[in-house]
Amino acid sequence: MKVLWAPWRMEYILSDKEEGECIFCPGDNRSQDQARLVLYVGSLTLVIMNRFPYINGHLLVAPARHVPDLESLTEKETLDLLLMVRRSIEVLKKVMSPEGFNVGLNLGSVAGAGVEAHLHFHIVPRWNGDTNYMSVLGEVRVIPEHIAETYGKLLPRFRKFKQFPGGGE
């Protein structure tokens, strides 16, 4: 028998999913960015890694301001958010060489929004064969690289970002 080891999942299983601080609100203290898997914080947008990813490199791109829906965004925030989605895809292409992407926005809990109060895009890199018998038969997803290692590969690319045409940093 083979053993699938994914100890970081226990944090999610045991976590209090109800109340608490918003995982997307960056605050002013950057000292916890690595622990929170924050890759980038600008004046209008931020990028974090999904702590409970579907697959390696699963990123979350959100406005820096706590807003629940697209209608609440300013035009500058909307442009900056989409530009950051595009730049995040560019980084993933360079660092991880995926063959495709799923990019999505879940609005409302019935649509699958896990954090309904703070709008965020999911960027999920995809490779041919990344869905296999484990997912289909065992309802288990195999993630081949530890999240801290993926974070270490992505962070230097995001640190290079400066001013965006959309007005963010």
Mind telling me the catalytic residues?
A: 120
Instruction: Return the amino acid letter for 97.
Output: S
Query: Residue 59 and residue 17: Cα distance in Å, rounded?
Result: 20
Alpha helices (runs of H) in the chain, residue ranges in sequence order? 8-14, 33-36, 75-96, 133-138, 147-158
Query: Residue 46 and residue 42: Cα distance in Å, rounded?
Result: 6
Query: Residue 127 and residue 157: Cα distance in Å, rounded?
Result: 21
Strands (E), the chain: 38-41, 45-49, 59-63, 100-105, 121-126
| β-pair partners for 74 | none
- Residue recorded with tokens 């990813």: 53
